Structure 1
Amino acid sequence: MAIETTRFDIQDHIGSPESQAAYLEAALEDGDPGLIAAAIGDIARARGATQFAKESGLSRETIYKVFRPGGNPTIGTVAKAARVLGLRLTLAPIPDSH
């Protein structure tokens, strides 16, 4: 008996601001910079890359280039993207990290 699979597309699951925030929070908790960049890119595309580019002041090419797995955005680029998402960058201590 063959296993039937369906194609997974994150865009089908991050349509609301709440789901986008939860998705980004999960990526941030993981701590992998490539995963964080890819999550921001997924959210940018879910919101519409053209509109996201306009609001962030970043070009569409930049969004597609740096916010993907293996992308390497600068902290300034991440800050601009966060602002568009209604977020700000903060640092917090890791509980019980000695």
Structure 2
Amino acid sequence: METVKLRKWDSAEHLQTEEDIVAYFDACLEEAGDDPAFIAHALGVIARARGMSQVARDTGLARESLYKALSGEGNPEFGTILKVVKALGLKLHVSAA
């Protein structure tokens, strides 16, 4: 029997275009329900796809702080989330449920 080698899935590797990023974030917002850590993690994935160093420069926040805040384990302030969304060139939209 042949050994199969697996590696950990990284969504950031598959976010190549703006359309990919928008579709991914929209799906995450839909799936997250009331879990803010899920949204923070999704933004972290997008930030890694774009380059965390550039996002850190654009937000004025330290790269290490962003990694922690957007890991899904962190607890970022809403202001941090808004800065990251803006730095990523995204907008949050509201619609009736």
When the two structures are superposed, what TM-score results if normalisation uses the length of structure 2? 0.82
Identity of aligned residues (%): 43
Partner Cα separation in structure 2 for residue 30 and residue 3 of structure 1: 35
Aligned to 2:56: 53
Post-superposition Cα deviations, 1:24-69, rounded to whole Å, max 9, x if no partner, equal: 1111111221111111001111111111100111210221011012
How far the C-alpha of 1:5 sits from its partner, in A, is 5.8
Does residue 6 in structure 1 map to residue 6 in structure 2? yes
Extract unaligned runs of 5+ from structure 2: none
How far the C-alpha of 1:3 sits from its partner, in A, is 8.2
Aligned length: 94
Aligned to 1:64: 67
How far the C-alpha of 1:2 sits from its partner, in A, is 7.3
Partner Cα separation in structure 2 for residue 2 and residue 72 of structure 1: 43
Give the partner amino acid of 2:11. I
User: Structure 1 pair 76/13, CA: closer, same or farther in 2 (3 Å)?
Assistant: same
What value does the CA root-mean-square deviation take over the aligned residues?
1.8
Q: Map of 1:1-98 to 2, 5 A cutoff? A: 4=4, 6-7=6-7, 8-31=9-32, 32-94=35-97
When the two structures are superposed, what TM-score results if normalisation uses the length of structure 1? 0.81
Partner Cα separation in structure 1 for residue 46 and residue 82 of structure 2: 14
Partner Cα separation in structure 1 for residue 22 and residue 10 of structure 2: 17
Partner Cα separation in structure 2 for residue 2 and residue 35 of structure 1: 37
Extract unaligned runs of 5+ from structure 1: none
